[in-house]
Amino acid sequence: MFANPPPDLIKLYIRNVAIGFGLSAVFVALLLWFDIAGLGGLVARSDKGWIAVLMLFLSNGVIFAGVQFAFAVMSMAEDDDDDEPRGGRRAPVPEQVAIPVRVGSPAGS
């Protein structure tokens, strides 16, 4: 199909977008099936209900695809398992020393 196969990152993105839109389809189907907030009945009674279903599917698809891709990318991180304590080494904090200040009466009194 392609002269050069797409890079791995593009394949990862397309796969996760497909998963996100699949989850969106399941989510919208469940919303309508269980008639959450009366959406199923409202869509069934309206002649333009398909537009609402399409908008729900697309908007949730964008959200779910973004979250799915972000999860996939963040799960690719390598674990830094070294001898450092969790959070790394802390810099020493200088000790605070109170300096007494003498308060006299205002000038001219």
- Would you list the DSSP string of 19-57? HHHHHHHHHHHHHHHTTGGGHHHHHHH-TTHHHHHHHHH
pLDDT given at position 27? 97
Direct distance between the N- and C-terminal alpha carbons of the chain, in angstroms, rounded to an integer? 95
8 Å CB contact between 12 and 72: yes
Query: What are the φ and ψ backbone dihedral angles of 50, each rounded to 5 degrees?
Result: -65, -30
Section 39-59 average pLDDT: 94
pLDDT digits (tens, 9 = 90+) for 57-82: 999 999 999 999 999 999 988 776 66
Q: State residue 88's pLDDT score.
A: 67
Averaged pLDDT score across all residues of the chain: 87
pTM: 0.66
Number of H helices, E strands in the chain: 3, 0
Which pLDDT score, from 0 to 100, does residue 82 have?
A: 63
pLDDT for position 2: 62
- Percent of the chain at pLDDT exceeding 70: 86
Q: Which helix (H) or strand (E) holds 74?
A: helix 49-74
